[in-house]
């Protein structure tokens, strides 16, 4: 957003906070200055507002930009896994304003030696710092653990900006005890660590059980509902009850396992631990609406409310990854999604539609206060269209 530019969203029907403990904000307006949220609440309390851009939401829903906790980006906006260009920009049209790499594992000829592993992670990290597909933010450069990596390698990558370890199990380091040593090094360098959970996904990967995850000690158990094959329900319960590890549910997994996991985690009052990801591109394909589909699945098939499900894909993920996004609060980047019930839905609002199992329509997406999408080309059309003045 240009310096000193002011944007106002008014007549908001429902305002989703991104905070799993308090998902709904009492308010109907958001004031944005210089790309950041300045005020949230009742427009009547704002006083005089001189906004250059005014978005009249006409009673629709506003939420933080969704965060895809599991994206297998490589470099640029191309996936060699599905030989498809523009998949990241397409996911933006599903309301996802930030994608987090789970490892650039699909790069053809991916290097597995120390120098190559470091070079790829640093290159992917730095390239996405300078490249925003369609305006979306991509947190790239998730190092894949390979045999031979040393503590100084993690220190070198951290100094260069790498802050992620991709899914443990996709590289040559598969033994939990061996992985645990590198996990310790990575954490000492401030990195967040993910670990594949469940059956094999690609040639060279391995089946990972709850006991293996617990021994390695990552921050995140990736796709507890399978990527694509799920562990048993007893294994999921073990991760819930015997660890404090974050639990990820993805689209490119087992849907029955996702529902059972969601139900159980809700029963155990552990909703703050759930992340929502896509896990694409993968053998399942490229799924631009994958995150919205998981939100809809959990909101319609489990005790999890639609607002809580949205918070899992926003504030939860941001908190677990230490990102300064995912919440509608003063001082946060104005990454916002305006949505409504799709035309023809039995629901009358975006939340009603999600509870009924529908995908909401996305009408406007902002990143850092800039309108980057004025009409989603991937979601169904909205029932009520906001107006921009």
> All domains of the chain, ordered by start, with CATH?
6-64+327-388 (2.30.40.10), 66-320 (3.20.20.140)
- pLDDT of 202: 57
The per-residue pLDDT for 311 is 98
- The helix/strand/coil state of 137 is strand
Task: Provide the whole-model pTM.
Answer: 0.96
66-71 and 370-373 strand pairing: unpaired
Write down the pLDDT at residue 204.
57
Cβ(216)–Cβ(191) under 8 Å? no
Interval 111-165: pLDDT, tens: 999 999 999 999 999 999 999 999 999 999 999 999 999 999 999 999 999 999 9
Please write the tens of the pLDDT for every residue from 348-362: 999 999 999 999 999
pLDDT of residue 99: 98
| Cβ contact 364:55 at 8 Å | yes
pLDDT at 199: 81
Per-residue pLDDT tens for 303-340?
A: 999 999 999 999 999 999 999 999 999 999 999 999 99
Q: What is the pLDDT of residues 79-93, one digit of tens each?
A: 999 999 999 999 999
Q: Do the beta carbons of residue 87 and residue 284 sit within 8 Å?
A: no
What percent of the chain stands above pLDDT 70? 97
* Cα–Cα distance, 339 to 321 (Å, whole number): 25
pLDDT band at residue 5, thresholds of 50, 70 and 90? confident
Phi/psi for 304 (5° steps) reads -70, 130
Residue located via tokens 């199990």: 169
For residue 201, is pLDDT > 80? no
Residue 1 pLDDT level (bands cut at 50, 70, 90): very low
Q: What is the largest CA-CA distance in the chain?
A: 62
Whether 388 contacts 374, CB under 8 Å: yes
pLDDT in tens, 19-75: 999 999 999 999 999 999 999 999 999 999 999 999 999 999 999 999 999 999 999
Q: With contact defined as beta carbons under 8 Å apart, do 246 and 320 qualify?
A: yes
- For 115, residues 6+ apart whose C-beta sits below 8 A from its C-beta are none
List all residues 6 or more positions away from 250 whose beta carbon is below 8 Å from its beta carbon: 70, 222, 223, 225, 227, 258, 276, 277, 278, 279, 290, 294
Neighbours of 344 (CB within 10 A): 10
Residues 205 and 314: their CA atoms lie apart, in Å, by 29
284-309: pLDDT as tens digits:
999 999 999 999 999 999 999 999 99
Percent of the chain past pLDDT 90, that is, above it, reads 95
> For the residues of 58-88, what is the DSSP string, one character each?
TT-EEEEPEEEEEE---STTEETTTTEESHH
């Amino acid at each position: 957003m240009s310096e000193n530019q002011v944007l106002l969203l008014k007549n908001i029907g429902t305002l989703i906070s991104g905070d799993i403990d308090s998902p709904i904000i009492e308010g109907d307006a958001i004031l944005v200055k210089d790309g950041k949220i300045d005020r949230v609440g009742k427009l009547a309390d704002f006083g005089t507002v001189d906004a250059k851009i005014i978005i009249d939401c006409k009673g629709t829903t506003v939420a933080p930009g969704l965060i895809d906790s599991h994206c297998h980006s490589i470099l640029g906006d191309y996936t060699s896994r599905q030989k498809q260009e523009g998949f990241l920009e397409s996911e933006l049209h599903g309301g996802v304003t930030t994608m987090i790499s789970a490892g650039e594992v699909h790069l053809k000829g991916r290097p597995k030696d120390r120098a190559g592993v470091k070079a790829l992670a640093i290159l992917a990290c730095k390239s996405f710092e300078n490249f925003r597909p369609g305006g979306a933010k991509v947190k790239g450069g998730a190092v894949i653990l390979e045999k031979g990596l040393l503590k100084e390698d993690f220190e070198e990558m951290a100094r260069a900006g790498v802050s992620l370890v991709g899914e443990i199990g996709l590289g040559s380091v598969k033994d939990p005890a061996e992985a645990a040593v590198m996990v310790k090094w990575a954490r000492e360098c401030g990195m967040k660590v993910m670990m594949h959970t469940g059956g094999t996904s690609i040639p060279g990967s391995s089946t990972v059980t709850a006991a293996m995850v617990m021994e390695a000690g990552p921050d995140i158990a990736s796709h507890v509902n399978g990527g694509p094959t799920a562990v048993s329900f007893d294994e999921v319960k073990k991760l819930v009850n015997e660890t404090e590890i974050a639990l990820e549910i993805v689209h490119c997994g087992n849907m029955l396992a996702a529902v059972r996991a969601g139900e159980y985690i809700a029963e155990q009052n552990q909703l703050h631990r759930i992340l929502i990801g896509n896990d694409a591109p993968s053998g399942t394909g490229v799924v631009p609406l994958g995150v919205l589909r998981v939100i809809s699945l959990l909101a319609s098939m489990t005790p999890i409310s639609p607002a809580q499900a949205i918070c899992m894909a926003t504030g939860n993920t941001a908190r677990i990854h230490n990102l300064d996004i995912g919440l509608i609060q003063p001082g946060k980047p104005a990454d916002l999604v305006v949505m409504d019930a799709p035309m023809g839905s039995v629901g009358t609002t975006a939340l009603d539609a999600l509870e009924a199992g529908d995908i909401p329509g996305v009408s406007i997406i902002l990143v850092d206060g800039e309108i980057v999408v004025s009409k989603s080309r991937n979601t169904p059309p909205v029932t009520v269209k906001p107006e921009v003045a």
